[in-house]
Amino acid sequence: MKLFLDANVVFSAAHQAAGNAQALIALARAGGCTLQSSAHAIEEARRNLALKSSGYEQRLADALAQIEVMAEAPPALVEWARHEGLPLKDAPILAAAVQAGAEVLVTGDARDIGSLYGRTLRDVQVLAPVRALALVLKDAGV
């Protein structure tokens, strides 16, 4: 299963030694899923980590070792995502997930993207980290 991680999920994986984001990283390491993200999302996570965290460098490196960096989406796809109700700062994330062929967009951004939780848009289901983790575990038969 291909999961596309929003910046806040990458942030969480690096900021905390445990939690849903770390569990997704561990499942990817074990071959239970494929993790994807974009340079845009990873850079946002790095900026926020530098401002709000300390001692995250090794956890970030470990997470990034499991994440395939995908191409950014073309402007037309970003514009489509904006028409789905996303703000300009978040539209590139959904668009990149679609462009990458992800099955799930994993985001903890309930404020800006949460209205899409549970919806499937162009074959990409939008889920909170806890729901994505449950889906991957179910898919793996755990």
Residue 11, pLDDT above cutoff 90? yes
C-alpha distances out from residue 61 to 51, 67, 69, 81, Å:
17, 10, 13, 30
Indicate if the alpha-carbon torsion angle 28, 34, 38, 41 is positive or negative. Answer: negative
Residue 141, pLDDT > 90, answer: no
Write down the pLDDT at residue 97. Answer: 98
pLDDT (0 to 100) of residue 140: 79
Summarised one tens digit per residue, pLDDT across range 44-98 is 999 999 999 999 999 999 999 999 999 999 999 999 999 999 999 999 999 999 9
Q: Residue 38 corresponds to which amino acid?
A: S
Residue 56 is predicted with a pLDDT of 94
Does residue 88 contact residue 51 with C-beta atoms inside 8 Å?
A: no
Overall average pLDDT of the 17-37 stretch: 95
Q: Which stretch of 33-42, 71-80, 94-103, 109-118 has the lowest confidence by average pLDDT?
A: 109-118
**Stretch among 36-40, 53-57, 102-106 having the lowest mean pLDDT:** 53-57
Superfamily name and number for 2-139:
5'-nuclease (3.40.50.1010)
User: Tokens 């899923």 belong to which residue?
Assistant: 33
Q: What ranges do the domains of the chain cover?
A: 2-139
Whether pLDDT at 116 is above 80 = yes
pLDDT tier, 136 (very low <50, low <70, confident <90, very high otherwise): very high
Distance (Å) of CA 112 to CA 56, 93, 117: 25, 12, 11
Q: CB–CB of 91/82 below 8 Å?
A: yes
